[in-house]
Structure 1
Amino acid sequence: MLALQMAANSSPPPILSIIDMSNTLSEVQQAHAHMLKTGLIHTTFAASRIVAFAATVSDAQTIAHARSVFDRIATPNSYTWNTIIRAYANSADPENAILLFHQMLHSDVLPDKFTYPFILKACSRLHGFEEGRQIHATSVKTGVDSDIFVQNTLIHMYASLGHTRHAYCLFDRMSERDVISWNAILSAFVARGLMEQARRLFDQMPDRNVESWNFVISGYVDLGLIDDAQSLFDGMPTRDVVSWNAMITGYVHAGRFREALELFGIMQNAEVRPDNCTFVNLLSACARIGALSQGEWIHTYINKNEIQIDGFLATALVDMYSKCGSIEKALRVFRDTSKKDISTWNSMIAGLSTHGYGECALRLFSEMLMDEFAPNEITFISILSACSHAGLLHEGRRVFELMTEVHGIQPTVEHYGCMVDLLGRAGLLNEAQGLVSAFPCKDSPVVWESLLAACRSHGNIELAEHVAGQLLELNPQDNACYVQLSNIYESAGRWDDVREVREKMRKEGVRKEPGCSMIDVDGIVHEFSAGDRSHPQADEIYRKVDEMKTRIRSIGYVPDTSQVLFEIGEDEKESALLWHSEKLAIAFGLLNSGEDMTIRIIKNLKMCGDCHSAIKLISRAYGREIVVRDKNRFHHFKNGCCSCNDYW
């Protein structure tokens, strides 16, 4: 108020400076009130300053205030028209920009070369191809279509609406082109996945800026051509954070997680400041390979540099900690996050689910509803999965009903898969089969796979053969189906059937996915496969495995040789069990980590029963907490017990 009083005691211009320096609508409204008192509001130039404020803010309330001022200007000039059109073009209601443009056509002020870029942007945002064509025709009539800025915006509009041919025709007819023109048509080819044409155009460009390089790199990344993207990236004269993010994203999407983390190290040496997009992708890479120490380092970096944790970044942190086995830290991040979105809630519920904390997941779901977050399909997949992992049959049925009857969400194949898994684990195979039969999309493997797993758990060979037949009819290359069926036959001692399944796999060219386990020690991820002797510490690891066997035998370990699916002697079966990948990884962890440190393992397949029993005893014999993430869930082993309570 003091500033306004000072302005009131001097000539009119200072009040305009106050508007230019304002940060909130309230401040502008105070200035507006002063202008009404002094009569300055009746000056077109002065009134236009209030309208100009709206163009920089573009929220609904501010634009509404600016529009009320604009409508009272007797003779708005082209600057004022363009400003209010620009404000609407950037707002949540870009159609109002087009309505104002038509009013402008019938006014005393004709659109100029500054009007068209704003109005064409509104057409792009509205996906208004026909409106854009009409405005293009108007630009020709008013003689501004030859302006390079108007031409560039036209190219961008046609390209963003998927009309690459229109965009290229305009580009081809341009007498003068700048780098913006080239980039506009380059982005059009990239958006359509026409990388051969895009690369040819890129090579022809007389001048390129960093945006030109980023377009082509992103195009290669989107098509999964990571090596081509890397080759181009290596040749860039200068790189910005978008360039680095494109490559890191590409490596993560291609499953090349270690390379993504290595590239981040190079990015740091180049002194390029990462942004939230960088961190989201890096945390995803850490989550996939269980690189907890690297994920913790990234979290520390975020906090140290006071980077704002929005919903996306909070979700990535929760997901990383959950998938790296530290559910306590995931919960801490979740509780400390003030800007949660539905994805953050879903990620936390999913984390609790995979760790076997079904009742905690249900409580969090109730809390989410009380906080008035509307659950979506993903929420119910996570909560149904939580019920399944924890054996909460009654609660799972209630959630399934709640989803359809209260929230109006129709079940998808994933929801049916969770329910079949829940019923199957509880031994209700007939009910599970009935649910599959009632499911409208019987050609989805997910529900059949859940039912087949239940058949194996409960030894129902007859139903397993029927389910396997359905699965192999859908996908003859389904290696998991062959393995499950072979396991079922082997458990029943039906070796002729086992050989028949394996022979069929050989004829079909189907191979069993080899089991592997990963462990992160001092920021380096080590990977082991069954019987693997390639590690530099192999001799020490195998001696440690023998020591583990001796220790756990003394407290009751008996090898479960039924888990070995080969017709070999009992001694050979015991050795095969001893060399499973998770046991090798645990031996490595015992050798290379402090006695008070948790050993964290990630395994690509479901853990076998023998390993589960053995690791319980290893945790007791060595006084170490061991966390294993297998294909389905987490197991927290401590003092001879597992968090799953042997229900897995």
Structure 2
Amino acid sequence: MFIKHKNAITSFTHLSNFLLKSDSGTQKQTMISKLKKCSELKDLETVYATMIKNNADQDCFLMNQFVSACSNFSRMDYAILAFTQMEDSNVFVFNAMIKGFVRCCYPIKALEFYLNMLKARVSPTSFTFSSLIKACRLVTAVAFGEAVHGQIWKNGFESHVFVQTAMIDFYSNLSRIVESRRVFDEMPERDVFAWTTMISGHTRVRDLSSARRLFEEMPERNIVSWNTMIDGYARMGNVESAEFLFNMMPTKDLITWTTMINCYSQSKQFREAVAVFDEMKIAGVSPDEVTMATVISACAHLGALDLGKDIHLYVMQNGFNLDVYIGSALIDMYAKCGSLDRSLVIFFKLQEKNLFCWNSVIDGLAVHGYAEEALTVFSRMEREKITPNRVTFISVLSACTHAGLVEEGRKRFLSMTIDYSIPPEIEHYGCMVDLLGRAGLLEDALELIRSMRIEPNSIIWGAMLCGCKLHRNLEIAQVAVDKLMVLEPDNSGYYILLVNMYAEANQWGEVSKVRATMKERGVQKKSPGSSWIEMEGMIHEFVASDKSHPISGEIYTLLAELAGQLKLAGYVPEFGSIS
């Protein structure tokens, strides 16, 4: 009887413990669920209060979850406070703290916590080091990284693929490609991610030959490997190699197509960029906002208004949000294609406008000769507390140049440096020299050039020469040409401009001298530039004196008729140019 009674007590005790554990487990799951659902800081505070009330603030697993939630709100001060209340923290809590500091961009704090972890005699895991390496990358100090690398070896993670791959990435991000390659070569085992990270490291320092060798040696490749190589060639401007790999790829994803489109665009092969976009649609790959912005930009450079309209329609039909990226690209495209009204409509319809949108509309107005309106938009941008950048001021100064607003240009140039601490670059100086030169203030322009904090290049002296041509100032023109002959000795355009100026002044002896200099230096006439026009969805390219177009005969006949009508209207051509 006693034995039966004893067994009953034992069973009841086991049942009670089970129910208590079950209740505790349910409570823990409830708190974890609440932590994951926290949408506001006060929610987090409420859950932590519950944890304290139930003595759950000592539960390492729950604290791990709480610290992660704190990092979501960038409130690691809450995490530190909770951590200090714990009597015994395990490696998972330390890892959560270190990861949280890295995520909230407190890399030094993450490294300090690792030292605290070692003092507490808590052994690190691979996850500890993956976060520490990221912390070192944020600090961008090799010494920290090398110290962590030493800890990796000390704790026996030298053969851990994920940790070693993180070290490869760390060193290559700091352009320490020798150390990065040493880690890679010493790895006993490598997965496709390790290979790809090393290839990316070589492309980052523009060592495409080493990257290509590794790529060829890879036991297996994935789409990321192919994309890394294509992107490397694209950034180097090696379109042919990028194109070869692109065509060789067994399967392509969105990044592949977008990278190739961007590759063509960066190399000014805009028609090819649009053609790849068409292939992408045929292949059934849906573009994203980055793809669309790149293609729209290609249309802008082509001046292909009808094509740009079609792509705008595609954007609307396929549910793309008119965000700042697509919005700024459309503003720029319509402005460059001559449809300023549409450009302005897009700008004013945008709910959110970033700096690129403002820059695009200011530049569009400036290019179309609406200088006052461009300056008005700039003033509105300032009122809305949008901080301009160097590109903004290029457009503003360009607007002043086109309208001949000398004093306004000077005012904006000073404002750029004094009010916004933007140091003038070549483009800004070029705009100012052009502005002063067009206004006939050639001495002022020359004084500005001589006061420049950077070495004036051919853009500056070219603008100076154009001003001299406009106002027939041979003395300063000769100064500009002397500089240009050193900077661009093979550019015939500057010589010919000077020849024409001497011819207009009937200084034929000087004309002969310049021509003799050109002959002596072997300067050839530049290849003529080309222009594009879009008609019925087709892009036509034209070059001066070119007769390769299928209907060139009709074109020249029409030009002759127009020339005749101009003469009847009283136009007299200028024959000063003898180039």
So what's the TM-score if we normalise by structure 2?
A: 0.88
- Report if aligned partners of 1:479, 1:513 keep a CA contact under 8 Å in 2: no
Deviation at 1:227, TM superposition (A): 0.8
SS at match of 1:480: helix
Residue identity (%) = 36
- CA distance in structure 2 between the partners assigned to 1:264 and 1:107 by the alignment: 57
Cα 1:499–1:535, aligned 2, differ >3 Å: closer, same or farther?
farther
Partner of 1:190: 203
Matches within 5 A, 1:357-506: 357-441=370-454, 443-494=456-507, 497-498=510-511, 500-506=513-519
Partner of 1:541: 555
Matches within 5 A, 1:31-110: 31-54=47-70, 57=72, 59-61=73-75, 63-110=76-123
- Report if aligned partners of 2:493, 2:525 keep a CA contact under 8 Å in 1: no
CA offset digits 1:214-260 (Å, max 9, x no partner): 12112222222211111111111111122122222221121211111
Deviation at 1:498, TM superposition (A): 4.2
Specify the structure having the higher radius of gyration (Cα): 2
- Tell me the amino acid that sits aligned with residue 172 of structure 1: D
Partner of 1:267: 280
Match of 2:168 among 131, 135, 155: 155
Deviation at 1:195, TM superposition (A): 1.8
Partner of 1:601: none
- Tell me the amino acid that sits aligned with residue 359 of structure 1: E
Matches within 5 A, 1:453-602: 453-494=466-507, 497-498=510-511, 500-507=513-520, 508-549=522-563, 551-553=565-567, 556-562=569-575, 565=578
- CA distance in structure 2 between the partners assigned to 1:81 and 1:388 by the alignment: 61
- CA distance in structure 2 between the partners assigned to 1:436 and 1:173 by the alignment: 55
- Tell me the amino acid that sits aligned with residue 329 of structure 1: R
Partner of 2:14: none
SS at match of 2:532: strand
- Tell me the amino acid that sits aligned with residue 487 of structure 2: L
Partner of 1:140: 153
Partner of 1:221: 234
SS at match of 2:531: strand
Partner of 1:608: none
SS at match of 1:562: coil
Match of 1:231 among 244, 257, 271: 244
- Tell me the amino acid that sits aligned with residue 47 of structure 2: A
Deviates more, 1:389-398 or 1:85-94: 85-94
Cα 1:314–1:99, aligned 2, differ >3 Å: closer, same or farther?
farther
Partner of 1:279: 292
Partner of 1:354: 367
Deviation at 1:53, TM superposition (A): 2.6
SS at match of 2:542: strand
- Structure (1/2) with the larger helix percentage: 2
Deviation at 1:326, TM superposition (A): 2.1
Deviates more, 1:214-223 or 1:439-448: 439-448
Deviation at 1:111, TM superposition (A): 0.8
Deviation at 1:155, TM superposition (A): 2.0
Partner of 1:255: 268
- CA distance in structure 1 between the partners assigned to 2:45 and 2:318 by the alignment: 36
Partner of 2:6: none
- Tell me the amino acid that sits aligned with residue 45 of structure 1: F
Deviation at 1:136, TM superposition (A): 1.5
- CA distance in structure 2 between the partners assigned to 1:168 and 1:263 by the alignment: 35
- CA distance in structure 2 between the partners assigned to 1:443 and 1:408 by the alignment: 21
- Tell me the amino acid that sits aligned with residue 32 of structure 1: Y
Partner of 1:165: 178
Match of 2:356 among 343, 368, 383: 343
Deviation at 1:96, TM superposition (A): 2.1
Partner of 2:337: 324
Deviation at 1:476, TM superposition (A): 1.5
- Report if aligned partners of 1:318, 1:348 keep a CA contact under 8 Å in 2: yes
Partner of 2:20: none
Partner of 1:610: none
Deviation at 1:78, TM superposition (A): 1.9
- Tell me the amino acid that sits aligned with residue 180 of structure 2: A
CA offset digits 1:136-186 (Å, max 9, x no partner): 111222223322222222222222222222222222222222112212222
Corresponding position: 1:289 with 2:302: yes
- Tell me the amino acid that sits aligned with residue 356 of structure 1: G
Deviation at 1:553, TM superposition (A): 4.9
Matches within 5 A, 1:104-143: 104-143=117-156
CA offset digits 1:33-66 (Å, max 9, x no partner): 44344444343322322223345x3x523x3433
CA offset digits 1:542-593 (Å, max 9, x no partner): 3433443455555x15241426536xxxxxxxxxxxxxxxxxxxxxxxxxxx
Cα 1:25–1:520, aligned 2, differ >3 Å: closer, same or farther?
farther
- Tell me the amino acid that sits aligned with residue 69 of structure 1: A
- Report if aligned partners of 2:491, 2:526 keep a CA contact under 8 Å in 1: no
- CA distance in structure 2 between the partners assigned to 1:400 and 1:79 by the alignment: 56
Deviation at 1:389, TM superposition (A): 0.7
Corresponding position: 1:19 with 2:11: no
- CA distance in structure 2 between the partners assigned to 1:128 and 1:280 by the alignment: 36
So what's the TM-score if we normalise by structure 1?
A: 0.79
Deviation at 1:443, TM superposition (A): 4.2
Deviates more, 1:245-254 or 1:507-516: 507-516
Cα 1:408–1:153, aligned 2, differ >3 Å: closer, same or farther?
closer
Structure 1: unaligned runs, 5 residues or longer: 1-6, 567-648
- CA distance in structure 2 between the partners assigned to 1:240 and 1:273 by the alignment: 9
CA offset digits 1:89-143 (Å, max 9, x no partner): 2333222221221111112422112211111122122212111111111122222
Cα 1:550–1:446, aligned 2, differ >3 Å: closer, same or farther?
closer
- Report if aligned partners of 1:491, 1:562 keep a CA contact under 8 Å in 2: no
- Tell me the amino acid that sits aligned with residue 528 of structure 2: P
Deviation at 1:291, TM superposition (A): 1.7
Deviation at 1:210, TM superposition (A): 0.9
Corresponding position: 1:203 with 2:216: yes
- CA distance in structure 2 between the partners assigned to 1:336 and 1:64 by the alignment: 42
- Tell me the amino acid that sits aligned with residue 510 of structure 1: Q
Structure 2: unaligned runs, 5 residues or longer: 1-22
Deviates more, 1:90-99 or 1:123-132: 90-99
- Report if aligned partners of 1:52, 1:80 keep a CA contact under 8 Å in 2: no
Give the number of the structure with larger relative contact order, counting CA–CA contacts within 8 Å between residues 6 or more apart.
1
SS at match of 2:549: coil
